[in-house]
């Protein structure tokens, strides 16, 4: 076998790459979502214990190439990966998904953190949150004039002024149209995740003329090789086998 690969995942793109990896390589997940049981490569679950733990793992498991296909907002694991790869002297490749771009007529309001996000939402009554579980930590802070809909991967009872919808992408355009109609949102809150799986919400916001409050992307470390396409990354990983 050529270099043993550790693939850091937790996204649909990463799973597509993992499905192409032969036995002997390792696919790593934080353990928050579904664990695939049909891969040829090994699957490991859970944190490494920071960058030092990851560096130790790279050495102990005989890893020769570290590949980061985590979500663009998973900044901690990417920062750890960059540090650990240097410490263990293992090359670090990364999949960096291109961000979505606003189109003519779109009303995007870019914010840098939760406090700015909440301030930007002040004029609205029915925000639809589609940026993961973070709003669940703020259910007791919902302003009097607002009712929140929170779509995330967690099942949660919500409260009198918030409804939590447990749903996993990909989402279709027709599905999003129906969902938006049911929710009656007057503003959408999103990360700029990029990719096709969750892009339909932006199309529906455009159709309905809804503003989008967009949480800006975190800074990510440089990598030895950067890919914006999972197929190109997998091809490069499989090149030694051809």
Residue 77 as a binder of ligand NAP (CB under 6 A): the answer is yes
Cα separation values, 181 from 46, 49, 177, Å: 38, 44, 6
Residue 214 CB contacts under 8 Å (≥ 6 apart), including other chains? 108, 109, 110, 111, 190, 191, 192
Q: How many residues bind ligand NAP (CB under 6 A)?
A: 24
- Interaction between residue 169 and ligand NAP (CB under 6 A): no
Identity of the residue, 73 or 148, whose beta carbon is nearer to ligand NAP in the bound complex: 73
Residue 9 interacting with ligand NAP (CB under 6 A): yes
How far are the Cα atoms of 35, 55, 80, 149, 164 from residue 177, in angstroms, in the given order? 30, 46, 39, 15, 18
Q: Which is nearer to ligand NAP, 40 or 168 (CB)?
A: 168
Q: How far is the CB of 219 from ligand NAP (least distance, A)?
A: 12
Question: What minimum distance in Å lies between the beta carbon of 65 and ligand NAP?
Answer: 15
Candidates 41-49, 102-110, 114-122, 168-176: pick the segment binding ligand NAP (CB under 6 A): 41-49
Q: What's the CA dihedral at 74, 236, 18, 12 to 10 degrees?
A: 50
Q: How far apart are CA 158 and CA 64, in angstroms?
A: 45
Residue 148's φ and ψ, nearest 5 degrees, are -100, 140
When the beta carbons of 80 and 149 are compared against ligand NAP, the nearer one is 80
Does 75 contact ligand NAP by CB under 6 A?
yes
List residues near ligand NAP by CB under 6 A: 8-11, 28-30, 32, 47-50, 53-54, 70-71, 73-77, 80, 132, 191
């Amino acid at each position: 076998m050529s270099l043993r690969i550790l693939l850091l995942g937790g996204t649909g793109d990463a799973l597509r790459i993992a499905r192409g990896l032969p036995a002997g390589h390792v696919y790593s997940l934080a353990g928050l979502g579904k664990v695939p049981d049909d891969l040829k490569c090994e699957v490991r679950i859970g944190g490494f214990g920071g960058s030092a733990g990851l560096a130790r793992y790279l050495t102990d498991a005989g890893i020769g190439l570290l590949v980061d296909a985590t979500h663009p907002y998973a900044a901690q694991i990417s920062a750890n990966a960059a540090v650990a790869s240097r410490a263990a002297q293992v090359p670090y490749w990364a999949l960096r998904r291109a961000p979505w771009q606003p189109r003519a007529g779109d009303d995007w309001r870019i914010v840098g953190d939760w406090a700015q996000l909440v301030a930007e939402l002040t004029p609205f009554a029915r925000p639809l949150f589609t940026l993961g579980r973070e709003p669940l930590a703020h259910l007791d802070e919902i302003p009097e004039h607002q009712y929140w809909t929170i779509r995330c991967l967690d099942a949660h009872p919500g409260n009198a002024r918030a409804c939590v919808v447990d749903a996993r992408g990909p989402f279709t355009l027709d599905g999003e149209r129906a969902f938006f109609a049911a929710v009656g949102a007057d503003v959408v809150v999103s990360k700029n995740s990029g990719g096709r799986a969750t892009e339909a919400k932006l199309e529906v916001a455009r159709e309905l003329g809804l503003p989008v409050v967009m949480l800006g992307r975190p800074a990510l470390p440089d990598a030895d090789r950067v890919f914006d396409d999972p197929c190109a990354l997998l091809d490069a990983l499989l090149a030694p086998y051809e």
